[in-house]
Structure 1
C-alpha cells in the first residue's frame, strides 16, 4: 500500500517491488502469483501438474500407491504393464510388483507360461516370491498377505486356451483373503462370482477355505502323508482331497487334450491342457 508517497508490500505477497503495482485510492494492489508445485520423489512438473513415476502417486507424488488398482485410478491409466513400488496399508515396508494397467490395474500374483519352468519350489521361495525365465513370476505369500488384508479384492484366474479354441478361460473370486505367517498363510475367504466367470467354471477354492499353504518341504495338509505338493508338482492350498485345481503344476501343452498326469496345470474338469495361466488381484 502507499503511505506518505512510499510503497509497502503486504506480508505474503510474492512481488519483489512496487514496479507493477496499480494505484487505487492511495493504495497499490498486487495479484498474488500462483504457487508453483514442487514434485517429490523424482516427479516432473508438466503444466503445473506433477507427473509421477515408479509407483508414486498424489498431487505432489508424495505417496506410494497401495496396489495396482490404486495406481491406475491415480496416475497410470496410459501404462500397459510395468514394475512399480507399492505400500499396502499396514505393511512394514514397500515392495515391487508387476502391474497390468490396461484392465483397470491388476497386480500379478502368478504368471506361468513356459513348459521348462517348474514351480516345485521350497517353502522359503513361496513365502518370499520368485521370478523365473522371461515371463514367470510368483509374488510371494508374505506380499500376498499384505495385499489381501488391506481391502476387498478380486482374485482373477485366466487360463490360456489351446490355439484351436483360442481365448481365455476366466474365473473370478471376490473377497479374497489369506492369513499371516502364523497361520501358514491360511486361505480365509474366496467367493466365486459365477456371473463374471466362465459358465462351467469349477469352484476350486471354497473347499480349501481354512487350509494352509503347502510346499513339498512344508506340507501343512491336515492329512499327513498325502503329499499333495509333491503329487501336484507345486505349492498351493490343499485339503484332505488335495485340490480340484493345480495352477502351479507343470505345463505339458500336449496339443490340446489333458495328459491325465496329476502334476499338470488344470482347473476343475476342463478337458484341455492350457498354454499358460495368469492370476491377478484387483480392487
Structure 2
C-alpha cells in the first residue's frame, strides 16, 4: 500500500517565505489588541498569519499574542512605531519600501516608477480597492479583461468579488442567464436573492444587498442586454436599454428601485422598456409575495423579480432551446419586450458608472 502525505500549503510557505518578503514589518508599539481588529483566525506561525492577511482585501496589518492561544488577529489599519516593546502582542504592518513599494502583491514597474496592480487594487502603490469596475477599465493592466475582481463600494461595510467586463467604461455583471454556462435554478427564496447565488464566471445573480450597495455610492447606469435570434435565419442580435441614475433601496424598504431616465443608445438595436411600470415596487420571490396580483407571480414565473401583474419581464426565467426563434408563451420561460416576439437567447444585467 502506498501512503500519501498531505501537507498544508502554509507549511511550505513557512519554510520558504519570510514575513518580510511578504511585505510586512514588525512595529514597536505597546498597543495591545487594536480597535481596528476585525477578524481572528487560528495560526501556527507568523508567516501563516501573513499569508492570511495577504489574502484578505481589507487587511493592512496583523497581530499575534506573545502568550496564550495561537491566534492571528487581522486588522484593517496599520500601526505607528512608538519605540515601545512591552506589549502583550507582536504587531506587523504592511509597509512600502524602496525594494517592495507595491502593496497587495503588486509588481513594481521601474520604467514608469509605479505599480502594476492585481485583483481589483488600484492606485500608484495598489493601496485601495476599486469602488466598482469603472475605476479599473482604463488602466493598462486591467483594460479589456473580463474576469473576477474584488471591489469595495464606500456604502458597503465589506469588500466583495464581482465579475467585470473592462470595456466601455467598465461593466459589472448583476445577472447573467446564458446557455453557455452551467445551468442555475433561479427559482429561489428571498434570502437567496438577497445574498446572491450562482457562479461569478457563469450564470449568476449578484444579490440584492450588493445591488443596493453598488447603486447608492455614486450615480450608476443599469444596462439590460438581451441576445436574440436575428430577423434572418441563423443570425443573432443584441438588444439594449439603459436606465440612468439607477438606485435600489435597502432590505427594510423591500429593495425597491428608481431611475431618472430610460434610453436607447444610438446605433444599438432597441429593447422595449419593462421597468418603468415597476418603479417603487418591492422585490418578490416564491416565499415573499409582494406583487400587486392575486396569486404569486414568482411561483408562476419560477423566478424572483420586481413583479406588478406578472409581466412583461422575466429575465431570470428558463432559457428556450436555441432552435426556437419566437418567445414561448409558457410563463416560466424568459420574457422580454422584443419586437416580433423574438426569443431571448441570453440576458445580462450590468452596472456602470454614470459620470
Q: TM-score, normalised by structure 1?
A: 0.80
Describe the superposition over 1:152-187 as per-residue Cα deviations: whole angstroms up to 9, x where unpaired.
111111111226231211111111111001112111
Structure with greater contact order relative to length (CA < 8 Å, sep ≥ 6): 1
Tell me if 1:229 matches 2:292. Answer: no
Of the candidates 172, 178, 182, which is equivalent to residue 248 of structure 2?
178
Q: Name 2:315's counterpart in structure 1.
A: 247
Task: Measure the CA separation in 1 of the matches of 2:140 and 2:201.
Answer: 27
Deviation at 1:49, TM superposition (A): 1.2
Of the candidates 261, 271, 283, which is equivalent to residue 191 of structure 1?
261
For the 8 Å contact 2:249–2:257, the answer to whether it is kept is: yes
For the 8 Å contact 1:208–1:243, the answer to whether it is kept is: no
Task: Tell me: CA distance 1:161–1:126, structure 2 relative to 1, closer, same or farther (3 Å).
Answer: same
Task: Measure the CA separation in 2 of the matches of 1:199 and 1:133.
Answer: 27
Tell me if 1:218 matches 2:285. Answer: no
Describe the superposition over 1:217-247 as per-residue Cα deviations: whole angstroms up to 9, x where unpaired.
1112244x321111122111012x2332110
Of the candidates 256, 260, 267, which is equivalent to residue 329 of structure 2?
260
For the 8 Å contact 1:250–1:264, the answer to whether it is kept is: yes
Q: TM-score, normalised by structure 2?
A: 0.65
For the 8 Å contact 1:177–1:190, the answer to whether it is kept is: no
Task: Measure the CA separation in 1 of the matches of 2:343 and 2:271.
Answer: 15
Q: Name 2:206's counterpart in structure 1.
A: 139
1:12-23 correspondence runs (5 A): none
SS in 2 for 1:231: helix
Aligned residue pair count = 247
For the 8 Å contact 1:172–1:197, the answer to whether it is kept is: no
Task: Measure the CA separation in 1 of the matches of 2:333 and 2:315.
Answer: 8
Deviation at 1:140, TM superposition (A): 0.4
1:46-195 correspondence runs (5 A): 46-47=109-110, 48-74=113-139, 76-114=141-179, 116-132=183-199, 135-162=202-229, 164-189=234-259, 191-195=261-265
Task: Measure the CA separation in 2 of the matches of 1:146 and 1:251.
Answer: 29
Describe the superposition over 1:34-92 as per-residue Cα deviations: whole angstroms up to 9, x where unpaired.
x7771111111012211111110011111000000112145644342111110001210
Task: Tell me: CA distance 1:87–1:134, structure 2 relative to 1, closer, same or farther (3 Å).
Answer: closer
Q: Name 1:42's counterpart in structure 2.
A: 105
User: Any unmatched runs of 5+ in structure 1?
Assistant: 1-34
When Rg is computed on C-alpha atoms for both structures, the one with the higher figure is 1
Question: RMSD between aligned alpha carbons?
Answer: 2.2
Task: Measure the CA separation in 2 of the matches of 1:44 and 1:116.
Answer: 38
User: Any unmatched runs of 5+ in structure 2?
Assistant: 1-97
